[in-house]
Chains A and B, each alone.
Chain A
Amino acid sequence: NAGVTQTPKFQVLKTGQSMTLQCAQDMNHEYMSWYRQDPGMGLRLIHYSVGAGITDQGEVPNGYNVSRSTTEDFPLRLLSAAPSQTSVYFCASSYGDRYYEQYFGPGTRLTVT
């Protein structure tokens, strides 16, 4: 199993550009989530999904959209990038929900100039 994969590993955007961060898992996990990690802030939840077709907002959803058309994929879209979105983004999945151990992807380091 590849586990949780994320692409790209690194990305530089200009302010106002849009892009999609890809996340996929091959463990048939129902629960998937996106976090951002900033220095001194820990990880903060952006969006999550409890199954295909079901998504909801986390702690810091503004400026991001998600969809879940399949169990495997959970892309994160930045609508109009801003410097405040410079961060490291992690996708995670788990068998059940927050009660279970989370499997994290390797992360995408995004810089917005």
Chain B
Amino acid sequence: EVQLVESGGGLVQPGGSLRLSCAASGFTFSSYWMHWVRQAPGKGLVWVSRINSDGSSTSYADSVKGRFTISRDNAKNTLYLQMNSLRAEDTAVYYCARSPDYGDYAFVNWFDPWGQGTLVTVSS
């Protein structure tokens, strides 16, 4: 069974740091791009970041650029999101999701599957 399981969420003070993990199983992790998507309470989905299959290329939403770092360990089948300088507006459920390795210019792409999400709360 293809599965993604996030962990690492919790309560953190503004300005603090947190590292999220996403453990993958049931597929060849190193053959897929991976993404983080977040959802603030009662709000819509927001794409956060992506990493290519070998970890050599990353991209970020403007709202997190310079504060968040996406990485992966293909030997451990695990995706990470290092979040620094956290703000109240980063409070959200963070999902990891898989996409096919079609490169940056593919005209078709999709996210499937998604993990169950991990809640990050930034508050004093």
Our verdict on whether A and B bind, yes or no, reads: no
Give the A-binding residues of B (Cβ under 8 A): none
Give the B-binding residues of A (Cβ under 8 A): none
